[in-house]
């Protein structure tokens, strides 16, 4: 595909400028094509996504042939909240990995979606290819131990429309979490840049030079040494809520990567102690996801309660 860059592209980064062309590609997909040497300006290959462009430059984008997905569909039950020809919204359970990765090629949401969306009796078949062969349909992700609302795209136009909303932060996203201690103030905003941990590369951290990240929180309930909070994301960095709450001294309950072990006080009732001991994952649930349908432009909003063990723990803590 080749075309001149429009006047609105003047001075933009190359990856952002290409979004102005009639390409059904997300910014992340464009960045991959740029680094692969598949983008040229006025005949010169550009491999830096941050390269500043001029309006009127002739852009050429070489689109590679689509690759077949190399992962097998699996008949894993899905809690489908909504589905049409363009997208599917599901309630992801605790313990399910979003997409295949190092050493994981089965049991993921992608495997389940490949089966569900490819079933002959499903009138809403298909998944977008923009996420690549490893992540077909995946627009965003939740951590393995985080439950809640997710949306996946059925085709590339839907994928691009959803990805732009994530990038432009026009969606509504609320999470609920149980944290250690009592955040002060009870309602606040954490703005701290997040990047890869300088030593422990599997972790993220608040680091100078990291990417902008902001989280708003408010306390819903306060118990002895634990609190239930609601979080609203202003950005979408990896492990953002976990990193930000740990940064202000209130890590998530059950978060072995960023938190610390929590032991119930001896004075707690047996039922509360048992509910805590039965809770075996981080206490984070993506409760609300609202967005504009990328094709129909209808405003959609989906809300799910936390999983049963999360609710049982809340009830037990209410009895303290």
Helix (H, G, I), strand (E, B) or coil at 212: coil
Cβ–Cβ contacts within 10 Å for residue 60, how many? 15
- Our answer to whether residue 143 is catalytic in this structure is yes
Of these residues, 15, 84, 85, 143, which one is catalytic? 143
* Residue 92, strand partner residues: 148
CA distance 118 to 114: 6
Long-range CB pairs of 14-20 (<8 Å, 24+ gap) are 14/39, 14/41, 14/46, 14/48, 14/49, 14/50, 14/51, 14/52, 14/53, 15/49, 15/50, 17/53, 17/59, 18/59, 18/61, 19/164
Run of H or E including 148: strand 147-153
CA distance 7 to 192: 35
CA distance 304 to 272: 24
Q: How far is CA 308 from CA 87, 93, 314, in A?
A: 27, 11, 10
Q: Which of 154, 239, 145, 226 is nearest to 192 (CA)?
A: 239
Dihedral of alpha carbons 200, 201, 206, 210, sign: positive
CA distance 247 to 254: 16
Enumerate the active-site residues: 143
């Amino acid at each position: 595909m080749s075309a001149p860059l429009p006047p609105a592209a003047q001075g933009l980064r190359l990856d952002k400028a290409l979004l102005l062309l009639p390409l059904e590609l997300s910014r992340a997909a464009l960045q991959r094509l740029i680094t692969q040497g598949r983008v040229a300006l006025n005949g010169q290959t550009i491999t830096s996504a941050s390269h500043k462009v001029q309006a009127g430059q002739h852009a050429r984008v070489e689109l590679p042939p689509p690759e077949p997905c190399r992962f097998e569909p699996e008949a894993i039950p899905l809690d489908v909240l909504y589905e049409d020809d363009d997208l599917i919204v599901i309630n992801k359970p605790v313990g399910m990995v979003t997409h295949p990765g190092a050493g994981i090629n089965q049991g993921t949401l992608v495997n389940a979606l490949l089966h569900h969306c490819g079933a002959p009796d499903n009138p809403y078949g298909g998944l977008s290819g923009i996420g690549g062969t490893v992540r077909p349909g995946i627009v965003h992700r939740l951590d393995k131990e985080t439950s809640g609302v997710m949306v996946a795209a059925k085709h590339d136009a839907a994928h691009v429309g959803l990805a732009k909303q994530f990038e432009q932060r026009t969606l509504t996203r609320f999470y609920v979490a149980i944290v250690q201690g009592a955040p002060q103030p009870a309602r606040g905003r954490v703005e701290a840049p997040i990047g890869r941990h300088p030593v422990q590369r599997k972790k993220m951290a608040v680091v100078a030079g990291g990417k902008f990240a902001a989280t708003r929180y408010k306390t819903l309930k306060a118990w002895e040494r634990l609190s239930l909070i609601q979080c609203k994301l202003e950005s979408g960095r990896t492990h953002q809520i976990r990193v930000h709450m740990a940064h202000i001294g209130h890590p998530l309950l059950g978060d072995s990567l960023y938190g610390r072990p929590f032991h119930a006080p001896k004075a707690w009732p047996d039922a509360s102690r048992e509910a805590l001991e039965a809770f075996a994952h981080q206490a984070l649930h993506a409760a609300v996801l609202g967005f504009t349908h990328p094709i129909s432009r209808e405003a959609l909003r989906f809300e799910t309660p936390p999983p049963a063990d999360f609710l049982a723990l809340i009830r037990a803590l209410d009895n303290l």
